[in-house]
Each structure stands twice: as structure tokens, then as C-alpha cells.
Amino acid sequence: MARPLVGILASNHLAEDSYEVQMVGQRTIEAVGQVAGCMPLLIPGLPESVDIADLVATLDGLVLPGARANVHPAYYGEELTEAHGVMDEARDALGQPLIRALIERGVPIFGLCRGIQEMNVAFGGTLWTEVGDLPGRHRHRMPAGCKDPDIIFELREHVRLRPGGAVARIVGAENIITNSLHGQAIRDPGERVIVEGWAADGTIEAISIRGAQSFAIGVQWHPEHDAASDPPSRALFQAFGDAAREVQARRQSIAA
């Protein structure tokens, strides 16, 4: 039987400093294919080239991966400033309505880093521009100028999970250690957003979506980096894959 089809939303990238491409990190593709056990399909963040209705009718799941660009502040009622950083307006224009459409259809969604922010904004939430500048918070970014992946993705962020919550149930623990590579973070949770985890400084690190009929989880870290061997990361991707298989089976039963 064919594996469930899972879309991975790509981001704009300037290759060789000269031409635009759509990019997804290889670790994300491997996590979907090898740990979740699904067929990864890269979705270009180009709303003029991709039809949301076609995606809703086709996908068994969606991963929203991290990216350099931030969610455009216009989606949560702020003016764009230099402090907001780089934007990817095309990805936002596709991703925001696609998130809501898939949630309503009961298709699983897994948001990674930028992805948790996209999910929060899609349901009316807001973001901090740089959480490390807030009183009492620490910097959640990777070491400046570092090129060593083992250091960049080192497990250094202690995250407390909501007892009995969606994420805690999946990983089988209420305290985990994750990597930390972000500047922006959730400020005000969206209307349907349930906070599932916090860093030691109170920064929101995990969410789920209230009323979702399937897996609908966002995490502020990068579980794709070590998805095969890090127990919490593996558990999350396996649960996401199981949810995608349930959607695939549902589609097939309807078609039969």
C-alpha cells in the first residue's frame, strides 16, 4: 500500500546569491520519510502556482518547517519594521489559509520552529519580535557565528510540558530538553491555541489546536534534526505519521 502523502511547505531562498529557489531542509524530508513513514512532497510557497483546494483534497498531512524568514507582522496587526527581519510573503499567503483549511478538514499538521508561529498567527495569535530582548528572558538563538551542527542543534533548552497535555502524552514525559534556534516566539496565543509547553524563562515552546480532529501540534524547536534517535522527537514524528495513516485510511474507505 502506498504511504500517506505529507506535504512540506517550502521557503524562498536565493541560491548562489543570484536566483530564487524553493527550499526545504534535508533533515525535515528524512524525518517525514524515515521516521513518520510517509511520502514527503515538497509544496512550493507560491500561492499563484498552488491551489489550496487541490492540497486539501490530496494531502494526508502537512509539515510547516523552520525557515530564516519570519511571519509577516501584517497577519497579526503590526507594521513591518527592520526589527521583524526577513519576510517570505508568498509562503505566508499560501500557508495561512492552508493551515486553517486542513485543520477544518481533520488533516494533521506539525509545525516546527517557524511553523508553530504560523499556526498561532493563523488562529489570531501574535508574536514577539525578539524574545531574548524581553525582561527576564534569555536568548533562544544558536551561538552567534557557529557553523558546527552539533553545537547549533545541541540539546540545551529545558522545556516543561503541560501535565496530561497533547505533547506530554505523546512523548511520555512532562520535562524534556530540546535544541533552541529562534528569535521570535508566541506572545498572545490564538483563540484556539492551547499552550502545551514552556521554556524555563516562560517562553511558549509547544502548542496544540483546540477542537482539531487530528494531530495539530507546533513546537518552537527543531525535532527534525535528530528525529531518529532523540526519543521526544521520534515520538512526535511517529505520532504525526500515525495520524496521517488514519487520514489516508479514511480517504480510502470513502472512495471504496
Catalytic residue among 118, 157, 205, 224: 224
Give yes or no: 113 in active site: yes
140 is catalytic: no
Please indicate whether residue 38 is annotated as part of the active site: no
What is the distance between the alpha carbons of residues 65 and 145, in angstroms, rounded to a whole number?
22
d(CA 134, CA 224): 28
CA distances to 139, 182, 201 from 136, in Å: 10, 17, 7
Active-site hit among 72, 84, 222, 225: 222
Catalytic residue among 38, 72, 113, 140: 113
* Residue among 121, 132, 110 at smallest CA distance from 240: 110
Question: What's at 9, amino acid-wise?
Answer: L
Residue entry with cell 470513502:
254
Residues catalogued as catalytic: 113, 222, 224
